[in-house]
Chains A and B, each alone.
Chain A
Amino acid sequence: MARRRVWLGFGLLAAALGSLQSGPAAGAEGDAFNGRLLFAQCRLCHSLKAGETKVGPSLHGLFGRRAGAVDGFDYSPGMKDAGIVWDEASLDAFLKRPKAVIPGTKMVYGGLGRAEDRADLIAYMKQALKK
């Protein structure tokens, strides 16, 4: 009798925790396939190649870099003084609503409202920038 109750308890617990786990917060990787489609928008202004400036700075070497640090790019004061180092967490916050994180940013982009979309985009960027 007692043994059955243990399994019931653990079973429910495991099932519940499994279904609660979702999105980047729980450590699950985003879908880079969807991220590639989302990144098509970013490509309008950003290159992934080193040294290639478009409307926005190159994203080459983005992960681990300080915000506003690409040589020669004319950043907004807010971006230059942001004191942010780009990683998954800071990108997630910024891409949700760029002008809320960096008021006065030159980046004309409304943001990605959904956590899963941001996780997908970041997963694609990590993959694409590894080369």
Chain B
Amino acid sequence: MKHLLRLAVGGIALSALALAGQAAAADDMDALLKRIKLPPGFKINVFAKLPKPRSMVVGKPLNTVFVGSRHGTVHSLRDTNRDGVADEISLRGDDMNVPNGIAFQDGMLYVAETERVFMWGVPAEFDTALPLQPRVPVFEGMPAEFLHGWRYAGFGPDRKLYVSIGAPCNICDLKSMEGSIIRMDANGQNMEVVARGVRNSVGFDFHPKTGELFFTDNGADLMGDDIPPDELNRVTETGQHFGYPYLGGKSVKLTGWEDKTPPKGHQAPVIEFQAHSANLGIHFYTGRMFPAEYQGDAFVAQHGSWNRTSPVGYRIMRIRFDDKGLPTGKEVFADGWLQGDDASGRPVDIKSLPDGSLLVSDDYANVIYRISYGG
């Protein structure tokens, strides 16, 4: 009798330890959130927990958030009771080929995998359990290489679908669509190259007044801790060249291309970021929640360095814009994911909810945060 009791108590103790493990994970997230520094009046909470979330798009009219990843999955999230936390998190598919690009227009979800874009029509009777089937191919034939094969996608004010295509290497000559941003009609027709000489862009957005395309670009490796810088670029004409592989940043000649002349008329970045900070999602703020000074400014997610002597990034930057639609400077908006040499999270993409709060995905902490103001 005593023996059995001891066994039962031991079992309870061990299961208490396991539950404590889960509670510890929740404590870790609370501790992480407390370390995030934001300007006065701003708050951050966890909107959703899901594995390795990357690019996001908010669909209309139900405000469902679709989330892509580099791990085969697309999820959808809904906050049905508007309490600032997603109450429905649904896996919509787990067999896609690096579905990092995700966009939405006219009731249709577009997913950019490595080699193709497909479209899924959102049914009128919306059901968050439905898998993304059938997947209607929209555009095929993008480069197949895995390296930098994680596309970014988004619709422009011209209602065309823009997709970024990274170079399949660190520093190399480019063939075909490699190292570019392309756009196409929503049905995949009339593809054209909008920007060339782009090493690896995993984020772009359109200025709310001028409609101009601004994109981030990740700088080359193996040239030390501080060069070349990461870039923010502005496209003023279709087909402009942005310097890669000849140059990184405004003027750093890349390894192996020092003696080669960059194309005439190539464009310099409008903003240079710290090398290796990994600038990904950029999002122009047009919501009504944040103070008026934020209107038309952009937020940029810095994923953080992976091969720098001491780490940098792991934060959200704010890029101020003037009323001509030109960037005037950069500053830190939110940080605290990096403490000393230890990182607890890595921001990836940024989008606004209709209430003007910001969603920020983090594929290291495996959460999507919501940043709100006031209230």
Q: Which of B1, B307, B341, B343 has the most CB of A within 10 A?
A: B307
Closest-by-CB residue of A relative to B9 is A9
Contact with B along A9-36 (1 / 0, CB 8 A): 1111101110110000000000001101
Q: How many residues of A contact B (CB 8 A)?
A: 28
Closest-by-CB residue of B relative to A18 is B18
A20 and B147 form a contact (CB under 8 A): no
> In the complex, A15 Cα to B170 Cα: how many Å?
47
Quick check: is B130 within 8 A (CB to CB) of the other chain? no
Quick check: is A37 within 8 A (CB to CB) of the other chain? yes
Quick check: is A83 within 8 A (CB to CB) of the other chain? no
Given contacts A12-B8, A33-B72, contact A110 B308 (CB under 8 A): yes
B146 to chain A, nearest CB (A): 7
Contact with B along A22-61 (1 / 0, CB 8 A): 0000000000011011001101110000000001000000
Quick check: is B36 within 8 A (CB to CB) of the other chain? no
Residues of B within 8 A of A108 (CB): 307-309
Quick check: is B15 within 8 A (CB to CB) of the other chain? yes
Quick check: is A64 within 8 A (CB to CB) of the other chain? no
Interface residue ranges of B293-322 to A (CB < 8 Å): 305-309, 311
> In the complex, A110 Cα to B309 Cα: how many Å?
7
Residues of A within 8 A of B4 (CB): 2, 5-6, 9
Contact with A along B12-28 (1 / 0, CB 8 A): 11111110010000000
Residues of B within 8 A of A73 (CB): none
Pick the contact of A41: B13, B306, B341 (CB < 8 A).
Answer: B306
Pick the contact of A20: B7, B8, B17 (CB < 8 A).
Answer: B17
B305 and A16 form a contact (CB under 8 A): no
B343 and A10 form a contact (CB under 8 A): no
Residues of B within 8 A of A2 (CB): 1, 4
A10 and B11 form a contact (CB under 8 A): yes
A110 and B21 form a contact (CB under 8 A): no
Quick check: is B221 within 8 A (CB to CB) of the other chain? yes
Contact with A along B181-196 (1 / 0, CB 8 A): 0000000000000000
Given contacts A5-B5, A10-B7, contact A20 B21 (CB under 8 A): yes
A5 and B8 form a contact (CB under 8 A): yes
Pick the contact of B170: A8, A36, A44 (CB < 8 A).
Answer: A44
Given contacts A8-B8, A9-B10, A113-B342, contact A19 B18 (CB under 8 A): yes
B10 and A33 form a contact (CB under 8 A): no
> In the complex, A20 Cα to B342 Cα: how many Å?
25
A44 and B14 form a contact (CB under 8 A): no
B25 to chain A, nearest CB (A): 11
Q: A16-B17, A33-B72 are in contact. List 20 more A-B contacts (CB 8 A).
A: A6-B4, A6-B7, A9-B4, A9-B8, A11-B11, A12-B8, A12-B11, A12-B12, A13-B7, A20-B14, A20-B18, A34-B71, A36-B146, A37-B71, A41-B306, A44-B170, A44-B221, A110-B305, A110-B307, A113-B343
What 6 pairs across the A-B complex have the smallest Cβ distances? Answer: A12-B11, A16-B14, A9-B7, A9-B8, A16-B15, A19-B18
Complex A-B: 7 CB contacts under 8 Å: A6-B7, A12-B12, A12-B14, A13-B10, A15-B18, A110-B311, A113-B343
